[in-house]
Amino acid sequence: MPTVPGTLRSTAARVPDREALVFGGLRYTYAELDAAVDRVAAVLVGDGLRKGDRLALMSPNTDRFVIAFYAAQRAGAVVVPVNPASTGPELDYLIRDSGAAVLVFAPEVAGAVRDAVAAGMPAGLRVDCTGDGGEYPDLFAAAEGRAAEPVEVGLAEDDDTEILYTSGTTGKPKGALFDHHRMMWETAAFIGGVGLRDGDRLLHVAPLYHSAELNLMLLPGVFVGATHIVHSGFDPVAVLDTIERERITMMFGVPTMYQFLMRVPGVQDRDLASWRTGMFGAAPMPASAVQQLVATFPGVEFMQLCGQTEAGPGGILARHDQVVARPETSGKEALINLECRVVRPDGTDVAVGEVGEMILRGVTVMKEYWNKPEQTAETIRDGWLHTGDLTLVDTDGCMTVVDRLKDMIITGGRNVYSVEVENAVAAHPSVVDCAVVARPHEEYGESIVAVVTLAEGAALDLGALREFCGQRIAHYKVPHDLVVLDAIPRNASGKILKREVRGMV
């Protein structure tokens, strides 16, 4: 079984002259990309990086993120991708928790790095920049002009390769540890599951530091010899321009990205004939938005992915026909190499129409939480990853994630699942984004609060919202309160930060 950097080597040998990476005006063939990775890997090893060392990589989407990622792995490091929006204290936590020996950062995030260093980073930490980092060495300048000679560190498939930190929506982030074996099976699962093809052209607009874009798009794409077109941020007009100009065949986006794409004036007049597959996930998309998405881009086959970082990421998926027929559901089948069950607290399978916890088992599930044996034992029990996702199973086998186990609302002794209420609220024509949370209530235990962002120029009051929702969900699920915000707080992967939302109501 190959290793992650080994797949780049084999693809470069197979299709050396094929375009591999595009960023702005920069274009690399696979031979050029492979050579650039060798040169940076040699600098890292020469500066003291050793096999098994953790290397934190903090950068927005750039060509140099891709090169540094593969170079670190080729040098034998365990890569710790860091959200480029992290503050100094957040970066400090990840460095200390992972025990990173090296931090590689992009010039764009130098402020957070300086804050973390000023606060006292661990002794011995080496800090490099992917460009002009002021007082810090420029990793790429040091690599320039070197001979592209392979670095041999004796990588094996059971060596560790990544520590992916969870989003931290329910507490401090935990690092999910993976080896090359798991990542290669994840790569194979995704290629087979979504129909990734040799020579596809992939658009990267979601953040590469995140497990979905990194492990479900970059790694499998390199394996099959895809061309990777990388955007440093998300701009809906630029995305549509790139799909047309670069003849993009596949992209992944979080639901909010697709919402913005649909609002671009003249979107239906664009030449998007090359765009074969669009994937969405990382956060729920309301059924009304899914229906609009399919209608706006009729030539695209959409797939919904619903999973967890701890599974590779992996979980369940809905293929295009399932997305069209059941837009309100989360998926119907497990990704290849995974088993999925929905169980009661006692571990028995739920009946049709019953809600339970989704659990996953398979070769792509993480080894453990880094240095957290108690949390690992709580999450992986008898070989099954307990996701904490409360899931409803329908008669046709479709599964719908209705809430997080810790976010379920209990009002008047009845369980209310926030996703169901959010779908009803999101269908209102004045609402462009929403979250549903609980507020303590003396009589009912908890009351249901709808937090919304409204369309420009729109207005909405509680009475109108309650009447609208009452036509779609049971009366006890209808929101008791309404809060209007300029923006719903979300993390970089698009997940609602419910702890922050609760603090606002």
Looking at residue 35, its pLDDT comes to 98
**409: exposed, middle or buried (Cβ count in 10 Å: 0-12, 13-18, 19+):** buried
* Residues of the chain where predicted confidence (pLDDT) is lower than 70: 1, 167-171, 492-493
Looking from the CA of 182 toward its CB, the CA atoms found within 13 Å total: 26
Region(s) of the chain under CATH 3.40.50.12780? 201-404
Region(s) of the chain under CATH 3.40.50.980? 30-155
CA distance 476 to 412: 8
Looking at residue 168, its pLDDT comes to 54
Looking at residue 440, its pLDDT comes to 87
Task: Tell me the two tokens of residue 264.
Answer: 């671009």
CATH top-level class for 201-404?
alpha beta
Fold of 30-155: Rossmann fold (3.40.50)
- Write down the pTM of the prediction: 0.87
Q: Give every strand in the sheet of 78-82, ordered side by side.
A: 126-129, 102-105, 54-58, 78-82, 160-165, 175-179, 368-369
Peptide bond between residue 313 and the one before it cis (omega within 30 degrees of 0): yes
Looking at residue 156, its pLDDT comes to 96
- How distant, in Å, are the alpha carbons of 181, 407, 482 from that of 448? 45, 12, 9
* pLDDT 10s digits, 5-18: 999 999 999 999 99
Looking at residue 469, its pLDDT comes to 94
- How distant, in Å, are the alpha carbons of 186, 213, 346 from that of 217? 11, 5, 37
Region(s) of the chain under CATH 3.30.300.30? 409-504
CA distance 232 to 30: 21
Looking at residue 492, its pLDDT comes to 64
Task: Tell me the two tokens of residue 483.
Answer: 């809060």
Looking at residue 167, its pLDDT comes to 64
Q: Comparing C-alpha atoms, which of 271, 280, 225 is closest to residue 251? A: 280
CA distance 101 to 104: 10
Fold of 409-504: GMP Synthetase; Chain A, domain 3 (3.30.300)
Q: Comparing C-alpha atoms, which of 310, 4, 383, 382 is closest to residue 181? A: 4
Looking at residue 5, its pLDDT comes to 97
Task: Tell me the two tokens of residue 169.
Answer: 């929506």
Please give the sequence-ordered ranges of beta strands (E in DSSP) within 288-351, or none if there are none. 301-308, 314-318, 333-334, 338-343
- DSSP secondary structure letters along 450-501: EEEEEPTT----HHHHHHHHHTTS-GGGS-SEEEE-S---B-TTS-B-HHHH
